[in-house]
Amino acid sequence: MIETREVNFAYRRGEPVINDIDCKIEDGEFVALLGHNGSGKTTLSRLFMALMHPRSGEVYVDGENIAKKEPADLADRVGYVFQNPDLQILADTVWDEVAYGPRNKKLSEEKIREQVEEALAATGLTDFADVYPRILSFGQKRRLGVAAALALKPRILLLDEITNGQDSLEKEQMMNYLRAINEEQGITIVLITHDMNIARLYARRVIVLHNGNLVFDDVPEELFNGMKDLTEWGLQQPTMAALAATFELTAVNAADFCAQLTLKAGEK
């Protein structure tokens, strides 16, 4: 469980990046953290992981104030996956890469093997255990980043824009893995993204930041039902949501929309 109380952050040059944010994320949630470029969403996630510390206010992980902690202290409770997979590759085989974390924590060989196998299975990389990480495809490298974080068995996973630059098929695949991790293992997922579709289809809670302020915190339906003007916050209404809302249908994808639309038209 992560909580921030009245957290503020600004870089030395002055302009505040995070203004007085109160935010509480419970176990097992699937949260999408949205916001325009510079809204503070990445900064907030970095505060969660103690990669940065707030200028004022507190951040608590499982009830403990993490002001004096560094990310290594939190690694077995909170996992962080960065956007650029190439910069996170530290080992020569997929297995070693995923084992990096558990080895740092000096776990027994048994435990390490167990946790690495689990992490590989959860991200569909079991068959790639002996592969040199750099020859993996971009999507696979991304999943490797997730596996490496999972290996320490954190209860919370923070993911920074990990569907950026991938085609829709790969995005879907990644999101399905995340959904499985969340539903089967109860791991909290906090996904920073600017992909509205993903937020809409997979998240159960959406938090929107705008200019460093928390402006929305509720279920996705409330955000995407067409009632709110998302452009105000630098966001875009996902296409299907806009169409569905206009025609008062509940479809989330194209096929369903067409079916419902013709059905409705047929009723006239």
Chain residues in the site for another protein (CB under 8 A): 36-37, 49, 51, 70-73, 75-76, 79-80, 82, 84, 86-90, 100-102, 104-105, 134, 137-139, 148-149, 152, 164-170, 172, 194, 197, 234-240, 242-243, 246-248, 253-255, 257-258, 261-262, 264-265, 268
Q: Which of residues 3 and 195 has its CB atom nearest to another protein in the complex?
A: 195
Q: Minimal distance in Å, beta carbon 97 to another protein?
A: 9
Q: Which of residues 22 and 258 has its CB atom nearest to another protein in the complex?
A: 258
Q: Minimal distance in Å, beta carbon 89 to another protein?
A: 6
Q: Which of residues 20 and 234 has its CB atom nearest to another protein in the complex?
A: 234
Q: Which of residues 22 and 138 has its CB atom nearest to another protein in the complex?
A: 138
Q: Which of residues 134 and 204 has its CB atom nearest to another protein in the complex?
A: 134
CA distance 257 to 244: 7
Q: Which of residues 129 and 243 has its CB atom nearest to another protein in the complex?
A: 243
Q: Minimal distance in Å, beta carbon 6 to another protein?
A: 25
Q: Minimal distance in Å, beta carbon 266 to another protein?
A: 9
Q: Minimal distance in Å, beta carbon 114 to another protein?
A: 17
Which residue from 198, 80, 101 is spatially nearest to 151, judged by alpha carbons?
A: 101
Q: Minimal distance in Å, beta carbon 224 to another protein?
A: 13
